[in-house]
């Protein structure tokens, strides 16, 4: 099931040509991931406080398909592809209407506050991937 998050392109997101600067797509999908996690009932601050765990991006494989421009309304889609004890793989895309502008396969890992790999608590795994648990 896909999660949707909408946003508008502001002047600060663009280059001199009025086209979204390439690195900002990573910010857009980060916001989409944060809202996806929130929509599942996972409180990332509580996860850090209670378990000392955080999510971190391990890998991003991205394709820039078409440019977004100043004042465009965009939609970020986030879909779970796979989940293991300490790793989550997501398919994310940025859309303008029915036009897909950007795609990314994102691998997240669970880390302790010291940066060591860690397993997600069972209750968090059940929220992220309920059909798998």
What's the whole-number mean pLDDT along residues 45-71?
Answer: 95
What's the whole-number mean pLDDT along residues 55-68?
Answer: 97
Whether the Cβ atoms of residue 107 and residue 57 lie closer than 8 Å to each other: yes
Among the listed residues 15, 43, 63, 99, the single catalytic one is 15
Q: What is the pLDDT of residues 70-94, one digit of tens each?
A: 999 999 999 999 998 889 999 999 9
Non-local (6+) Cβ contacts of 80 within 8 A are: 88, 89, 90, 128, 129
Domain boundaries, the chain: 2-132
Q: Note the pLDDT of residue 73.
A: 98
Q: Note the pLDDT of residue 96.
A: 98
Q: How confident is the model at residue 42 (pLDDT cuts 50, 70, 90)?
A: very high
Q: Is 71 a catalytic residue?
A: no
E strands, the chain, in order: 2-8, 53-64, 73-83, 87-96, 99-112
Q: How confident is the model at residue 28 (pLDDT cuts 50, 70, 90)?
A: very high
Tell me the C-alpha distance between 56 and 118, whole Å. 11
Q: Output 77 or 129, whichever has higher pLDDT.
A: 77
Superfamily covering domain 2-132:
Hotdog Thioesterase (3.10.129.10)
Report strand pairing: 53-64 vs 99-112.
antiparallel
Q: How many CA atoms lie within 13 A of 78 on its CB side?
A: 25
User: At residue 10, does pLDDT exceed 70?
Assistant: yes
Q: Output 131 or 128, whichever has higher pLDDT.
A: 128
User: At residue 113, does pLDDT exceed 70?
Assistant: yes
Structure tokens at 110: 């669970």
């Amino acid at each position: 099931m896909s999660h949707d998050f909408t946003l508008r392109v502001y002047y600060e997101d663009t280059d001199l040509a009025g086209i979204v600067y390439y690195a900002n797509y990573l910010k857009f999908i980060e916001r989409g991931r944060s809202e996806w996690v929130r929509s599942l009932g996972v409180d990332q601050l509580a996860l850090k406080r209670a378990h000392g765990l955080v999510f971190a991006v391990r890998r991003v494989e991205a394709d820039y398909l078409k440019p977004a421009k100043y004042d465009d309304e965009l939609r970020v889609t986030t879909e779970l592809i796979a989940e293991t004890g300490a790793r989550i793989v997501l398919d994310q895309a940025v859309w303008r209407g029915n036009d897909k502008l950007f795609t990314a396969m994102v691998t997240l890992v669970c880390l302790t506050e010291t940066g060591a790999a860690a397993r997600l608590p069972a209750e968090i795994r059940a929220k992220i991937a309920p059909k798998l648990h």
